[in-house]
Chain A
Amino acid sequence: MLSGLFLIGEREHMLSDLFFFIGEHGQPMQTTMLLTVIAVLTVVGYFLGRGRAVAIAGGRLSTLHSVPPYHGFFVALWAGVPALLLLAVWVSCEGPVIMSLVLAQLPAALIPTDHQALTLLQTDILNLAAGVSNGREPDPAVADAAGLYNTLHMVAESCLLALGSALAVAGLTLARRQIRGDLRARNRVEAALNVLLILCSLVAILTTVGIVLSLLFQAIQFFTMVPLTDFLFGLHWNPQTAFSGDVKGSFGAVPIFTGTLLITVIAMVVAVPIGLMSAVYMSEYAAPTVRSVAKPVLEILAGIPTVVYGFFAALTMAPVIRDVGTALGLEVSSQSALAAGVVMGIMIIPFVSSLSDDVINAVPQALRDGSYGLGATRSETIREIVLPAALPGIVGAVMLAISRAIGETMIVAMAAGLAANLTANPLAAVTTVTVQIAATIRGDQEFNSPKTLSVFGLGLVLFIVTLILNVIALRVVQKYREKYD
């Protein structure tokens, strides 16, 4: 959420702000010392707490509400957590606070009014304070400010060390004094652990929210420059012309999405039948010895880096397809959707086959026995009983494979090209959403040019499409899921 709000207000300066934070001072000695002090006090607190609990129990541990180690953890947490929280707050606030104090000391004439120049000035002060010269003779006032910055920084760090150590010692002492036979130390420690677990899951959730929000806000900015309808329904994609100011008509994403669709369809046509049938073979027909060799070998396919698939597609597959096509009298471009799609399909086979194999194996043997017991043949049993029972898992595997195909970049970049052609011809060169994003973000473009921002529009649509696919997959899986106990 915070990152999102930050982006709303100051998104146009995100890059420079980023450098501002990187350019800050590294962690000085005092912080390391404080961390050491906290660590030592935590360990000491554990043993003190445990020892006191043992002493109180006086040999009869059953008189304690919680066993002694919980008392130890209780004291250790009080020694460590408040001091660490102080450290975290201090470190995140220190830089901006000191900087505002320093700027307040500068003569008002020196402080620029626009944000960009102010950021530059702050960077200058920080560089000077760190002893990094930019080659120019600094303004004496700025040099003074840098000196002041260093002094304040030193003072702040020493304060932090003193305050942090005091807090740790205080926490330890107070917690140790609380220890009595009926102290519910276990419940307190478990509550603290509960908070820790919640924080960990929050990290994942907040990261997702942050990514979605940043995607959303940048995309909105893009759509203020290029109308949404132009983007979604335009048939012409040529961001290069947008550079010369002609924004309208350059960002029609239809060719890119049809390219993605074309390559994904080709990949699935290759991967789903082959993957599914090899899964059926391996789980239902293959002898255990064959299976124990064949399955790992198939899974090696999943371990090949996509870049290797990429040059296999570009240097081996594409020429073969071109030669065959030419021999048949067809016009084939040397970079074709077919080459990329087929190789991508091969790459995805292990996803489909390995996951389907697992779900087919998870179908209870009792169902097969029931079917065989009625005189069904093996193929009837597989078609009528095993595959329907495994359907939710198979749908899940296919959906995962589709997501993988849509998100794949390297193979397409190498084998299918960058030309945003609007075509359904698998022998022509096409491009996909991910390839366009990769190609655009690599360029030396101004950050807030429509061309750069277009990646957020593409990314947003890609995100929405995969989200919809996942929701569909989830629905299908829920609808057909059977419970076996």
Chain B
Amino acid sequence: MRLDNIQMSVANRQGPAVRAIPSVNNKITARDVNVYYATKRALKDINLDIEENRVTALIGPSGCGKSTFLRCLNRMNDTIDICRIEGQIQLDSVDIYAKAIDTVQLRARVGMVFQKPNPFPKSIYDNIAYGPRIHGLAQRGAEMDEVVRSSLERAGLWGEVKDRLKEPGTGLSGGQQQRLCIARAIAVSPEVILMDEPCSALDPIATAHIEELIDELRASYTIVIVTHNMQQAARVSQKTAFFHLGEMVECNDTEEIFTNPRDERTQGYITGRYG
């Protein structure tokens, strides 16, 4: 009964609610991606396009494979011995799993922010300077100071830490640590930023901070964010993909997914029937 009501209400909203989004470049395209952990198949024939300068949200119940898919995009799954990947993922039309691709260079282009803030046991300054230094992006000294300052500014953290850059990054609060990790990712000037549930360990105020930040970053970066929080997906993303049991069930404009899901499973999840 309830399902019918929802479908009807969703159907009523169809039409005028659909907003035309100008077509954009696909930054990343995934074709027939399968991932296996040993013999367990974690992702099944995923086809997904990630658009440039947009925020794409990956939602779905725990264990549905959304984090696994995210980690395929910068080959972080390479660090897991038992993980095997089939299919093709292209970044700017270049296969990132091709032999010629160096994961070090790939990850400099596709940065990542993790679920739990993981600042290095170094000073705030060195946390930011680490990436630029290993990639030789800036000279030690004034140039590096500038990279650190601008990265922290873009992450909205500069005002809070500018007087204590020499203090350990682990001494910051949880929300500040996560913004430090975002600043650290920005410092290497990536094209894509992957975020794996970046707010799940944070309180609502810190979460609001990060969400604002994500919206601002969209202008310069392509962002893919995994989240369990559907309000968050609705707030920050333009595109949403719903994953379920290793399958990509549905991908569409965020508004469309939340108001007019095509698939019954998507509808069940966003209306809180399961997940």
Contacts of B116 in A (CB 8 A): 366
Contacts of A288 in B (CB 8 A): 81
A68-76, A339-347, A377-385, A404-412 - the one binding chain B: A377-385
Whether a CB of chain B sits under 8 angstroms from the CB of A112 is no
Contacts of A385 in B (CB 8 A): 120-121
B170 touches A483 (CB 8 A): yes
B interface footprint on A128-156 (CB within 8 Å = 1, 0 otherwise) = 00000000000000000000000000000
B111 touches A380 (CB 8 A): no
B121 touches A389 (CB 8 A): yes
Whether a CB of chain A sits under 8 angstroms from the CB of B74 is yes
A375 touches B135 (CB 8 A): yes
Checking B81, B119, B130, B168 against A374 with a beta-carbon cut-off of 8 angstroms, the contacting residue is: B130
Whether a CB of chain A sits under 8 angstroms from the CB of B219 is no
Task: Please give the distance in Å from B31's CB to the nearest CB on chain A.
Answer: 24
Contacts of B188 in A (CB 8 A): 374-375
Q: Which residue of B lies closest to A383 (CB)?
A: B134
Whether a CB of chain B sits under 8 angstroms from the CB of A193 is no
Contacts of B76 in A (CB 8 A): 369, 372-373
B185 touches A388 (CB 8 A): no
Contacts of A372 in B (CB 8 A): 76, 79, 107
Q: Which B88-137 residues have a C-beta within 8 angstroms of A?
A: 103-108, 111-114, 116, 118-122, 130-131, 134-135
Task: Please give the distance in Å from A224's CB to the nearest CB on chain B.
Answer: 52
Q: Which residue of B lies closest to A376 (CB)?
A: B134
Contacts of A366 in B (CB 8 A): 114, 116, 118
CA gap between A113 and B135 in the complex, in Å: 89
A364 touches B118 (CB 8 A): yes
Checking A287, A373, A375, A380 against B114 with a beta-carbon cut-off of 8 angstroms, the contacting residue is: A373
* Interface SS, A side: helix
Whether a CB of chain A sits under 8 angstroms from the CB of B244 is no
CA gap between A388 and B170 in the complex, in Å: 14
Whether a CB of chain B sits under 8 angstroms from the CB of A158 is no
A interface footprint on B206-237 (CB within 8 Å = 1, 0 otherwise) = 00000000000000000000000000000000
A384 touches B121 (CB 8 A): no
A375 touches B121 (CB 8 A): no
Task: Please give the distance in Å from A92's CB to the nearest CB on chain B.
Answer: 55
Number of A residues near B (Cβ < 8 Å) is 22
Tell me the total A-B contact number using a CB cutoff of 8 A: 74
Known A369-B79, A380-B134, A483-B170: A374·B118 in contact at CB below 8 Å? no
Whether a CB of chain A sits under 8 angstroms from the CB of B239 is no
Q: Which A347-387 residues have a C-beta within 8 angstroms of B?
A: 364, 366-377, 380, 384-385
Contacts of B119 in A (CB 8 A): 370
CA gap between A385 and B118 in the complex, in Å: 11
Whether a CB of chain B sits under 8 angstroms from the CB of A482 is yes
B interface footprint on A206-231 (CB within 8 Å = 1, 0 otherwise) = 00000000000000000000000000
Checking A375, A388, A482 against B104 with a beta-carbon cut-off of 8 angstroms, the contacting residue is: A375
Contacts of B103 in A (CB 8 A): 375
Contacts of B81 in A (CB 8 A): 287-288
Task: Please give the distance in Å from B18's CB to the nearest CB on chain A.
Answer: 37
Checking B118, B121, B135 against A369 with a beta-carbon cut-off of 8 angstroms, the contacting residue is: B118
Q: Which residue, B108, B114, B116, B118, has most C-beta atoms of chain A within 10 A? A: B118
A370 touches B114 (CB 8 A): yes
Whether a CB of chain A sits under 8 angstroms from the CB of B184 is yes
B168 touches A370 (CB 8 A): no
Q: Which residue, A370, A375, A384, A388, has most C-beta atoms of chain B within 10 A? A: A375
CA gap between A384 and B79 in the complex, in Å: 18
Whether a CB of chain A sits under 8 angstroms from the CB of B181 is yes
Contacts of A371 in B (CB 8 A): 120, 130
B107 touches A374 (CB 8 A): yes
Task: Please give the distance in Å from B194's CB to the nearest CB on chain A.
Answer: 8
Contacts of A377 in B (CB 8 A): 104, 134
A376 touches B104 (CB 8 A): yes
CA gap between A367 and B121 in the complex, in Å: 9
Contacts of B79 in A (CB 8 A): 368-369, 372
Contacts of B135 in A (CB 8 A): 375
Contacts of A483 in B (CB 8 A): 170
Known A288-B81, A369-B118, A380-B134: A374·B170 in contact at CB below 8 Å? no
CA gap between A370 and B105 in the complex, in Å: 15
CA gap between A366 and B181 in the complex, in Å: 12
CA gap between A368 and B81 in the complex, in Å: 15
Listed in ascending order, the chain B residues whose CB lies under 8 Å from chain A are 74, 76, 79, 81, 103-108, 111-114, 116, 118-122, 130-131, 134-135, 168, 170, 181, 184-185, 188
What are 26 pairs between A and B in contact, CB < 8 Å?
Answer: A287-B81, A366-B116, A367-B118, A367-B120, A370-B118, A370-B119, A371-B120, A373-B111, A374-B111, A374-B112, A374-B130, A374-B131, A375-B103, A375-B104, A375-B107, A375-B135, A375-B188, A376-B130, A376-B131, A377-B104, A384-B134, A385-B121, A388-B122, A389-B121, A482-B121, A483-B170
Give 3 nearest A-B pairs by CB, closest first.
A373-B112, A375-B108, A375-B107
Listed in ascending order, the chain A residues whose CB lies under 8 Å from chain B are 287-288, 364, 366-377, 380, 384-385, 388-389, 482-483
